[in-house]
Structure 1
Amino acid sequence: MEIKNKNIQLQDLGTKDYKDTWDYQEELFDAIIQIKRKNRNDNLSIETPNHFLFVEHPHVYTLGKSGDLNNLLLDEKQLVDKGITFHKINRGGDITYHGFGQIVGYPILDLDNFFNDIGKYMRSLEETIIRVLAEYGIKGERSKGETGVWLDVGTPFARKICALGVRSSRWVTMHGFALNANTNLGYFDHIIPCGIRGKAVTSMEVELGSTLNIEEVKSKILKHFTDVFEVNFVNDQVNI
């Protein structure tokens, strides 16, 4: 009988450099892949783990594997002057910004434990954030053909509040979502966010007119992620 592990090991990394966190994601990702290879090659049934990382990154722009570098509007010197790092990475999507006051979540899941459908996975991440926003009286929506969570879709005031971008191999995921809670939106002025022209970016702080309690928002994310994905979170706080 196939083993389905519905437990997710939760780690909150606090504020951490993007590249260091990316490397750590890769370690966890590769470890799951290796277990799956061993199971297939040796006809074993070793349980694969699932992970969820919360993190806040210092100022950084990341460009997805199919992204257009022209969507970065700063040169190398300007990046240095503004204290912003840049990485071209292996997720889907185009360019985005990570920084202080933003809640970044990286689910590193073996989807064989849940469902084998990347589209459903992306919609489930969006649904989690939509439910969180609803608790604050913010109506989050999906925008056809545009990944992420948006407000006022179909109007001239459409704006993105949460970006999504993932990588998947052998049904194992990495990267994830970035929810603008108390984010300084000025940093989005130096890019064409997600490669989409003519649409704005917003934050929960801007929409509500008050600063959010980040830990409270994280707890709501975990609550709704648990319901949407039908999982159990296990605290696994370690230093890396």
Structure 2
Amino acid sequence: MNKTIKVLELGRKDYKETWDLQEELFQKVLDTKIKNKREKSELPTDNSFIFVEHPHVYTLGKSGDLANLLLDEKQLAEKGATFYKINRGGDITYHGPGQIVGYPILDLENFFTDIHKYLRLLEEMVILTLAEYGLKSERSKGETGVWLDVGTPFARKICALGVRASRWVTMHGFAFNVNADLDYFDNIVPCGIKDKAVTSLNVEIGQKEVPVDEVKAKLKKHFAELFEAEFLEV
């Protein structure tokens, strides 16, 4: 079992280009697994973790409702945003500057074969990171992602999740609002959930800007501990 994970730091990169890279890495792992099964071999499968920041973009999951995008093509262009219907679970979300977006492309057979556990550990990584900033965050029953003040009229989401998996290989992942422009969320019904707000780490701790690299380092630390993995920077 290969528990080493290659970290790809892409900086700011176009959503479609990053999606294509995800698909390439995802397919490579699938091909290795298919070959192993066909030839009864034991070639190791790679694990990768993409960290990226996207220009303004809205993405709609395969089970999502297009009505949750509140802009037409002209308005999207005016906002400097793009839109993609994609092959992850979940509804609509926004990605943009000031967000840490993470795409783990893992062969879960290197770790554990449980998608539910995988999602809960991604949430736990963010919950533990927020605790280091003095914030108590949690899960909201029936809703993926990480929230603050669950069960109150002030419930607000700080991190969204949406993944795809095939043969225990994962892609897509999480979007964590660190210094995000929250106005862009006004143009959608985030994750298809009405009447609940969205927030960002800098807002919650009253800081103009939180150092992204600092937050990323904390996320990596908690991920490595939770998955008993080792990161390899490439």
The answer, yes or no, to whether TM exceeds 0.5 is yes
The equivalent of 1:97 in structure 2 is: 94
Matches of 1:142 and 1:82, distance apart in 2: 31
The equivalent of 1:46 in structure 2 is: 43
Deviates more, 1:74-83 or 1:54-63: 74-83
Between the two proteins, what is the percent identity of the paired residues?
Answer: 68
Q: 1:19-53: per-residue Cα shift (whole Å, max 9, x none)? A: 00000000000000000000000000000000000
Question: Which residue identity is paired with 1:96?
Answer: T
Match of residue 108, structure 1, among 102, 105, 109: 105
The equivalent of 2:221 in structure 1 is: 223
Deviation at 1:132, TM superposition (A): 0.2
The equivalent of 2:10 in structure 1 is: 13
Deviation at 1:81, TM superposition (A): 1.3
TM-score, length of structure 1 as denominator length: 0.97
Deviation at 1:213, TM superposition (A): 0.4
Matches of 1:152 and 1:140, distance apart in 2: 7
* Partner SS state of residue 93, structure 2: strand
* Partner SS state of residue 8, structure 1: strand
Superposition pairs of residues 81-160 of structure 1, within 5 angstroms: 81-160=78-157
The equivalent of 1:182 in structure 2 is: 179
Deviation at 1:209, TM superposition (A): 0.9
TM-score, length of structure 2 as denominator length: 0.99
Please list every run of 5 or more consecutive structure 1 residues that lacks an aligned counterpart in the other structure.
Answer: none
Deviation at 1:82, TM superposition (A): 1.1
- Structure 1 runs, 4 residues or longer, greater than 6 Å off: none
Question: Which residue identity is paired with 1:34?
Answer: D
Matches of 1:70 and 1:92, distance apart in 2: 17
Matches of 2:39 and 2:131, distance apart in 1: 47
In the alignment, structure 1 residue 213 sits paired with structure 2 residue 211: yes
Over aligned residue pairs, what C-alpha RMSD do you find?
0.4
Please list every run of 5 or more consecutive structure 2 residues that lacks an aligned counterpart in the other structure.
Answer: none
Q: 1:159-178: per-residue Cα shift (whole Å, max 9, x none)? A: 00000000000000000000
